[in-house]
Structure 1
């Protein structure tokens, strides 16, 4: 008898799955026009070589008790019963709360563990910690931390990140797409909460068939590989701001700037114009000036400015551009450029931030909220910007600047992490390892022996999406999916909810945490509560039982014809932006008052170290560490698509053939990559789509520090190379996108990568 096919969902698409004696079979939803290949990674969820099978306690913590330890990340683990693990954890939580207070607990979670609305690890752990008095939290994201802080100062809120002009409008009206950072196909297969229909590729093809032209400005030609005849302007990394300033200079000097628009809808134009002309610093921001910085011909820059002024133009900047030192500047400059063109609020014109960064960017947004597992209220006010976790752990009590405030890092005694892997997202992983050695206790819920789990004291085995029931839906998707349990939990795994229910009982807050409901009770409750709360015209007829039986539910009402700032353009007084002036702030008096030397009050060229004298010095190459095509972040790095992408079992690094020849590197060689921060091994690929003096490697290879005498990571995790510094004092965003490196053939004996098989690194008790 054939195994029953059950429906489920992931951040990279809906699917059906069945499990039999041959293993797990996964099929994409047949209604998806462009399903993601990443679905082939899913069967690796059941790989016992990487699964946490039993509650485990680090030997040193078990023997010596809580306290800082240099053994985290290299110690043995002792498997214990659930009762013992939870008793130990409950006692430790009580000790920390009573001795140091709840601000000493850092509640870590990044929200990408599941596409489900109930088994959302971030909601689960935060709700639990709120029931016991709260926790120190992180704010914003590694993806767009700089933009999230900057945009409210410039346009009043984060609308460009969450409600850009939709693809349906762009494909009909845009004549010229100018894409700083491209529109990478590898990213638009992903959407937080799920993506039932992958349609971005189709939108791009429709626009091109209508006659729209595309320009991608990037050191990587394949950042817009979906449009075959796109013009590639090959640019030095992190120099986009200089090019944008020169485009603005051309518009201004040739009378192509829409002065009526900037006068009516913006403030700060004159101050910025003086800077462009060189009246404030003696340097006119001409195409000739930019050419020496960007490595782009001055004539190419000038011609592009004129083309942009002559048609309906969409200026796009990818999220990747702001993940660098001074990452605020290209985003701010691109908004100023769009204002100069005067097309903001017109169909197909203006600016967007993040097209291609996820599949949801540019999709229609639902006009009502989605079902949620309520997190409660956190009474602790302490927080850190998400990319400053190492600073917090290594320098408790020290001050730092953030968005006009002087803040103090809390003294963290206990890290409680569920969902997410900071040893993927964070920079300078050797420094992060040192930070993780400082607290008294680190607790992790994890299905897999990730680097985060291997740096924890108490590791609690958590189920995956396939081992529980849930409700899947995303804010940029119009289908709700019944995520049906496909298999029994692996080993002794429990869901985060089941773990926290048992723990809450030990801490006498079970009723507050569970409200008397089990998993099935919560799924029905959050569905029915959602059904009652949304506007009547959108309320589905199906009750929870009917939805579950039908497996899918259409979600009506998505605004598929949204134009960013259309209302503001129609009446800037009635629809004032939430800035001090009510307008777009090309120059910001608020930021000027902060007095930050690394974030001036208007878009400014500030040279990151990655741009200075590229091709020279001890680290002549600029490494671009972008998101992977073979997995989501570091998830299922042991999956089929991810493993097939490896070279000699390592993450592939792409080099321009000329750079490879100069270093006697051949395709398939094992190479050593060095920066002033660290060393890693990788497998070489030669590719002329990579600009000269640039190399590219994706993030997400599981951190393997098993051979430190060779390299900090022998598997190819680029975050052993990147510097742990904030983008600026204003935002303190991540700067992990770029780092200067040198690459050479590795001549020694190649150590084995061990992180995909716990038998190779774990010493059983």
Structure 2
């Protein structure tokens, strides 16, 4: 791989990104810029579509007001009137704060390398100096030559499995260009289940639902929506904020479970349930205890036993995988049958800090003050 070919593919990737960013970017409809003195600005600048590199998956609609080659303001979608059936594609707060990153004091503005690092691997890399070596500025030509040369060296020495491309599946996440480059060179190792894709794409399947969920209009028929560690007011995929507001106007109630009383919680929720960071599993086990111990198919049906029978393994001793110890089933673990520790709401409360009564009410659905009229 020559430096010229690397530049060629980088250039194509840039053009592709620019074309993608321009798609649908019509009708900016920005008002005439006003100067600091209140007069019409003689240099109004130009609104230019720009990409959003905040990794939420939706890549919100952003545009930059550029004056004399400098970004002075960020904007978002104003191409049409906002409506429930055709909402504006507004960027989120994180996406619209990118100007601060562009001019951040810690932004790396040019290529650098460790002073004692040399290409070729092994002792030449001086790995013992990582974290304490000095840095030196190099030219773009030198940086491209080093990168292309090291890629070729690793491929020749270790094969395509010697290169790991982290950060998610390239063709689905933010590594499209470098992923395409590596595929042309014969492929590389990738990660699966990275970033949020486990919860994003797989959890629905685990509870028997397709990846494609109900239409956004159907959300408005809900009684209660639980936002579990979800703060779309700051970062989101798609337009959930707008749809959630439509749900609220339709009478849907919201519960927010989060360590922080977020802007989303302030704007939407009828009930905020605090929880200590990293203790979700304990709280969920406490909720599972309520469901198992209080379920009565005749008078208080809380569990879909038919679904568990048809679609799951490992819930109880009678449905364990072949060769597994029946004592390792989920139900007996929750009830503390063998370890002597029932995972009650009181047990969970000691870990997650959430009041036991709140855990019980959330699990049983007895939040009477949250029932829709």
TM-score by length of 2: 0.61
- Alignment partner, residue 180 of structure 1: 228
Change (3 A) 1:96 1:259: closer
- Alignment partner, residue 136 of structure 2: 77
Secondary structure, counterpart of 1:6 in structure 2:
strand
* Partners of 1:184 and 1:222 within 8 A in 2: no
- Alignment partner, residue 303 of structure 1: 361
**In proportion to residue count, which structure has more helix?**
2
Deviation >6 Å, runs of 4+: 46-49, 309-313
Change (3 A) 1:67 1:184: same
Q: Distance in 1 between matches of 2:100 and 2:276?
A: 40
* Partners of 2:60 and 2:91 within 8 A in 1: yes
Q: Distance in 1 between matches of 2:305 and 2:155?
A: 59
Change (3 A) 1:181 1:223: farther
- Alignment partner, residue 30 of structure 1: 78
Shift of 1:154: 3.7
Structure 2: 5+ residue stretches without partners: 1-42, 54-58, 80-87, 318-329
- Alignment partner, residue 342 of structure 1: none
Shift of 1:205: 2.5
Structure 1 or 2, whichever has the larger Rg, is 2
Equivalent residue for 2:248, pick from 181, 184, 208? 208
Q: Distance in 1 between matches of 2:269 and 2:178?
A: 48
- Alignment partner, residue 30 of structure 2: none
Q: Distance in 2 between matches of 1:311 and 1:267?
A: 33
Q: Distance in 2 between matches of 1:155 and 1:58?
A: 49
- Alignment partner, residue 419 of structure 1: none
1:52-451 pair list within 5 angstroms: 52-53=109-110, 56-62=112-118, 66-73=124-131, 74-80=133-139, 82=141, 84-108=142-166, 122-145=175-198, 147=199, 151=203, 154-155=206-207, 162-170=211-219, 172-188=220-236, 191=237, 199-222=239-262, 224-227=264-267, 229-254=269-294, 255=296, 256=300, 257-259=302-304, 261-262=306-307, 265-268=310-313, 269-271=315-317, 272-307=330-365
Q: Distance in 2 between matches of 1:309 and 1:249?
A: 17
Change (3 A) 1:77 1:212: same
Q: Distance in 1 between matches of 2:246 and 2:112?
A: 53
Q: Distance in 2 between matches of 1:93 and 1:45?
A: 29
Shift of 1:63: 9.2
* Partners of 1:57 and 1:78 within 8 A in 2: yes
Shift of 1:187: 2.0
* Partners of 2:261 and 2:272 within 8 A in 1: yes
* Partners of 1:129 and 1:135 within 8 A in 2: yes
* Partners of 1:13 and 1:39 within 8 A in 2: no
Change (3 A) 1:307 1:75: same
Structure 1: 5+ residue stretches without partners: 314-765
* Partners of 2:164 and 2:188 within 8 A in 1: yes
Shift of 1:14: 1.9
Secondary structure, counterpart of 1:70 in structure 2:
helix
* Partners of 1:57 and 1:80 within 8 A in 2: no
* Partners of 2:115 and 2:135 within 8 A in 1: yes
Two-structure CA RMSD over aligned residues (Å):
4.2
Change (3 A) 1:43 1:308: same
* Partners of 2:60 and 2:89 within 8 A in 1: no
Q: Deviations over 1:318-343 (max 9, x none)?
A: xxxxxxxxxxxxxxxxxxxxxxxxxx
Q: Distance in 2 between matches of 1:18 and 1:309?
A: 48
Change (3 A) 1:246 1:15: closer
Give the number of the structure with larger relative contact order, counting CA–CA contacts within 8 Å between residues 6 or more apart. Answer: 1
Change (3 A) 1:245 1:105: closer
Q: Distance in 1 between matches of 2:45 and 2:307?
A: 63
Matched, 1:20 2:67: yes
User: Number of residues paired by the alignment?
Assistant: 293
* Partners of 1:208 and 1:227 within 8 A in 2: no
* Partners of 1:140 and 1:148 within 8 A in 2: no
